[in-house]
Structure 1
Amino acid sequence: MTIVELFKDWLVPILSIVLSFVSVGLAIWFASSAKNDAQKAQLVLDNVNTAIEGWQKQIMASTVGILDSMPQVIEGKAALAKIEAAQSLTKGIQDAIHQIATNPQPGAAGHTQEEALKTLTNQLNSLLASMVGTSAGKT
């Protein structure tokens, strides 16, 4: 057997098998390293995202607080409360009128019903007058 045949029959196949194992090992190492790097990068991105969300929440809460303390917003909330009170009074007047219409009372009881209705309308007039900034006279 000559050196060329020995090289061709034994050394090249063994060397190719060894190189195949080395390349498979390198591929496994590379995949594992890439997976670890991806996990580390995801952890960093999650931390950055959490920090950004925290800042955004703080900025939004601060902005809402500033807006809520503005005089226009406070006036708007007060006006809304007055409107709700007017709606409640209107409902009370409707209920009183309905009761008077379905169960009219003569004498002192009728006078009490009339006084209750006058009181409710006076309160409604006062509330409506305060909403437009004028004072209303009693009826």
Structure 2
Amino acid sequence: MAKKSTRRLLGSLWGYLLLAAVIWLWFLPSIGPGVIAALSGFVVLYSLFQAPMWCCAENRDGGLCRNNAYGLLLGCHFRQHKWQKLKMAVRQQYWGKLGRRVFSGVGGQAATFSAFAGMLSACVATATLIAK
């Protein structure tokens, strides 16, 4: 039986394990592209809304918040920070600022890479599914 801390760590990082499984599934000819597209969609959702990273919302003093947050689009537990990154993603003039904030930590870089890899995998799997 795994220790409680190991189960908690695996529970918070399940999307990265799923990304590794999706990459591995691309090399198995017996798995259809529909399964790969669905799993890739889960990887993207994990990256956007559940991957552990820093909040990086702007504080009142102009600094960046270093509280724990979940996903590329959500902030920390403060009410003002919860939707600040999602609002920045919707407004085009803030995309550069959002990109700099997301890439400020390793968690954000890993989540961004897995989101792009998941989207690419989902698009290729869907195109393969349509072409068959």
TM-score if structure 1 supplies the norm length?
0.30
Higher relative contact order (CA 8 A, sep 6+): 2
Query: Which structure is higher in strand share?
Result: 2
Query: Which structure is higher in helix share?
Result: 1
Larger of the two Rg values belongs to structure: 1
